[in-house]
Homo-oligomer: A and B are copies of this chain.
Amino acid sequence: MTATVIKGLEVAKPKRVELTERVKALTAKGVIPKLAVVLAGSNEASKVYAQSKQKVADPLGIQFELFIKPDDVSTQELTALIDQLNADPKVHGILVELPLPKTVDKEVVMNRLDPKKDIDGVHPFNRGYLLGGQEDRAIVPATPKSCLELIKSTGVPIEGAAVTILGRGDTVGRPLNSLLINRGATVTVCHSKTKNIDAIVKSSDIVVAAIGKANFVKAEWLNSKQVVIDVGINAIPGGITGDVDTKAVDVVAYITPVPGGVGSLTTTIIMDNLLDAIKLQGK
């Protein structure tokens, strides 16, 4: 093993200390940060994600409330719940766990969120500010923000770096593209239609894999100076694995593990977004 392994929890720790201080300062002003999580349907992974948010929120002094809806919930029931949470001055952030049941129009629900309480940055308003380079007005989606923090933790400069993002998804690839362009990286987004993907990956300084295919990125595509961020969470017999060949750890300079990398930081970033949202709300 030649690479330095970037552990999500190690990056999360100082962030949590900082968040604890911010929560204390808000509480002293009479603002007790509160996160509302909407869990619709019986998706097991979503349940686990919701619980992990509560586990991170509690010790930080952040209030957490879970709103559970059945598998056959209607779009209208969910938008009514969103309206209620939007109007509640004690709720500062709303997160709707995905995927939603098939009976629900996801877009209608997401677009109903008050953009200032949309702490995973899914509302077109927040996406638009990000695309327009106006991050100060936006709440940035947590997973790409997490990727950014992990890259920053290596000390490898982002400005001027050649970055390859694998995957053009709405959750990671697209918003991360904007985040990195805003910071002066030269970004290439690769996907299923890309030709010569191995050569593109090989020639880059930073590689972010968010393509959702186990071991898609081969160790032979990588070089010894690279930072590799593996966003993939793919189920395999006996556990989970990332999008990057496990042998990559013997090739590159820095790499995030799966599990224990991006995912371990993202929940903390959600809380960071909650406190940023409170600021945007003028509290």
Binding site for B on A (CB under 8 A): 107, 123-134, 137, 159-160, 162, 168, 170, 174-175, 177-178, 181, 184-196, 200
Contact = CB atoms under 8 A, between A and B. Distances in A.
A177 B176 CA distance: 13
Nearest to A183: B193
Query: Quick one: copies of this chain in the complex?
Result: 2
B200 A186 contact: yes
Contacts of A194: 160, 186
A186 B188 contact: yes
B128 A123 contact: yes
Contact of A181 (B130, B133, B168, B195): B168
A188 to B, nearest CB: 4
Contact of A128 (B126, B160, B181, B187): B126
Q: Name, among A107, A132, A133, A188, the residue most crowded by chain B CB atoms within 10 Å (CB to CB).
A: A132
Contacts of A181: 168, 174, 177, 189, 191
A210 to B, nearest CB: 14
B128 A124 contact: yes
A188 B191 contact: no
Nearest to A173: B181
A116 to B, nearest CB: 13
Contacts of A187: 188-189
Contacts of A184: 191-193
A237 to B, nearest CB: 33
A174 B131 contact: yes
Given A124-B125, A186-B190, A186-B200, 15 more contacts: A124-B132, A125-B125, A127-B128, A127-B131, A128-B128, A128-B129, A130-B131, A131-B174, A131-B175, A160-B194, A177-B177, A177-B181, A184-B191, A185-B193, A186-B193
